[in-house]
Structure 1
Amino acid sequence: MTHALTPLTTSFVAADGEFHAPSISEFFPDAVFFAGTPFELNRIGLIRIVVAIAIVLVLWLGTRKLKLVPGRGQSLLELLYDFIRVNIAEDMLGKKDGQRFVPLLFTIFVVTLGFNITGIIPGFNIAVSSTIGFPLVLAVVAYIVFIYAGIKKNGLGYFKAALFPAGVPKLMYVLVTPIEFLSTFIIRPVSLTLRLLMNMVAGHLILVLCFSATWFFLFSAGGLFTLIAPVTFAFGFAFTLFELLVAVLQAYIFTLLTTAYIQSSLAEEH
């Protein structure tokens, strides 16, 4: 089977002209460098490195010469930082705690957005948050931070408050404590990971399907099927705009939920 490549995304059209729908194998590409070693890098790994460098470069260029009257780049970064600080960190955690955690929350938002948005960038064509490694690492960071925040505020009593909520009859702890343990220490990181992962996977598969179908109808199917190509292309374009919205929204939701978990850890009572 030979694979054709459209300008927007990978298209799976066999040499015999038959259409082959995208599959989950797209998220496990062959190694590009250092195959068979612990440092093996595939296409997705390379994109992660490129995006990480790009994020660092953009933030450095935007902040290396801070001015009282900011330029365009500094203004955009300050606007984004203030949005995270005011509307998420300080709004949910209060001014004091918000200022403590806003650098972390800003980093989570920017990195998640950068890794999400590669799904609609020609040449990249896949969100690098659509494989479990990045969402899992990000969820572990959030997990460590909200537990740290709870211990820092309440000492080891944080675990007692989290597992044995005040005001619950003692006999009910037999039911309540296992539920609290699962919801706080298991379901939170799992849900953070899967929510981000599944949204990015679904978005990528939809885009590939639309543009692969366009390629197939335009160059392989022939006849009246050619008339369907503009329709599938229009759907692909619409889903590209929708995927851009999803990329931003998922970065916002991940940051918001991380803040909510920190807030619950800082609460005097759970």
Structure 2
Amino acid sequence: MANSGGGSAEYITHHLTDWCAGCAADHQPGGLVDFGAFTLDLIVVGLICAALVALLALFVRKHLTIEDPSGIQMAVEAGVEYVSDQVGQVFHKRNDFVGAMALTIFLWVSLMNLTDLIPVDLVPGVLGGIGQVFGAENVYFRIVPTAALDTPFAMALVVFAVMIYYQIRANGPGGYIKRFLTHPYGKWGAPANVITTLIDDVSKPVSLALRLFGNMFAGELIFALLAMLTLSALSPPSAMVAVWAPLHFIGGFVWSVFHLLIVFLQAFIFAVLAIVYLGMAQQTEH
């Protein structure tokens, strides 16, 4: 963990820096898109959350019962029923793939978002101590995958790819291309049609990713700012720590309760919008 004595800017920068393989000396990718950089912390935490979702599914499946369902089973069944209703309202035919995809998105994003409730200095502090044992001067590790652009955009691009597949399946390759040339201004407005349709399509994954990223990044930043209430009184140590430490605890608790709503709300919005976008994509163009 970065030394708080380096100032608030250094502290915040440290918490917003990824454990990155293939990054430059400043631990930053070469640009907004850098295929040679891998944010290992986001990958590790994302895989752990994915494994927990898989274990939950296996647990519910193993203990599935009609006579005496557990609370977890009833919660999962309620989620499956709600998602099935949403898919049924959008799709003309039964579509188990989209329903399973949306429920998986909700559970996975919820778990990744919940990591924001882990004390902001806990994981970086533990890993920093381990790193010092092995001679590492600075250890960077961001615990919230959805608070970085990588994870939300990766999920949004998967939804976008499935959306294109449904558009081609519904209209055929020729119909898919024709949509760019004739919609929405008719065949005489082909240049404007291409631009308008591209903006319409690309805005869906972009808005999907930025909405999740923006909310979770703001939450992560606020937790770091709250932590600085106490750290500011410890560098150098002063009697004000008796004031700032309780304020840190109270502020952190209040924000955690409020942020818990954001955690599940953003996961819900991402899953529902994925259903809506895929439902729109399977409509036949006339």
Aligned partner of 1:121 in structure 2 is 118
**Which residue of 73, 86, 108 maps to 2:105?**
108
C-alpha distance in 2 between matches for 1:66 and 1:50: 24
Deviates more, 1:248-257 or 1:123-132: 123-132
Does structure 2 retain, via aligned residues, the 8 Å contact 1:163–1:181?
no
Aligned partner of 2:16 in structure 1 is 27
Does structure 2 retain, via aligned residues, the 8 Å contact 1:22–1:209?
no
Aligned partner of 2:139 in structure 1 is none
TM-score by length of 2: 0.75
Change (3 A) 1:127 1:30: closer
Unaligned runs of 5+ in 1: 4-11, 33-37
Aligned-partner residue type, residue 14 of structure 1: G
Change (3 A) 1:197 1:163: farther
Aligned-partner residue type, residue 111 of structure 1: W
Does structure 1 retain, via aligned residues, the 8 Å contact 2:90–2:275?
yes
C-alpha distance in 2 between matches for 1:121 and 1:139: 25
Following superposition, the deviation at residue 162 of structure 1 comes to: 5.3
Following superposition, the deviation at residue 98 of structure 1 comes to: 4.3
Aligned-partner residue type, residue 139 of structure 1: A
C-alpha distance in 2 between matches for 1:19 and 1:155: 56
Aligned partner of 2:238 in structure 1 is 222
TM-score by length of 1: 0.79
Aligned partner of 2:59 in structure 1 is 61
1:96-145 residue CA offsets vs partner (Å, 9 max, x unmatched) = 24444201111111111111111113455832212233212211110111
Change (3 A) 1:218 1:78: farther
C-alpha distance in 2 between matches for 1:249 and 1:216: 33
**Which residue of 178, 183, 186 maps to 1:160?**
178
Unaligned runs of 5+ in 2: 22-35, 124-141
SS in 2 for 1:14: helix
C-alpha distance in 2 between matches for 1:111 and 1:134: 11
SS in 1 for 2:64: coil
Following superposition, the deviation at residue 71 of structure 1 comes to: 2.1
Q: 2:15 matched to 1:14?
A: no
Aligned-partner residue type, residue 56 of structure 1: A
Q: 2:81 matched to 1:78?
A: no
SS in 1 for 2:65: coil
Aligned residues: 250
1:64-87 residue CA offsets vs partner (Å, 9 max, x unmatched) = 23212322221121122222222x
Aligned partner of 1:51 in structure 2 is 49
Does structure 2 retain, via aligned residues, the 8 Å contact 1:27–1:130?
no
**Which residue of 158, 170, 191 maps to 1:141?**
158
C-alpha distance in 1 between matches for 2:166 and 2:40: 36
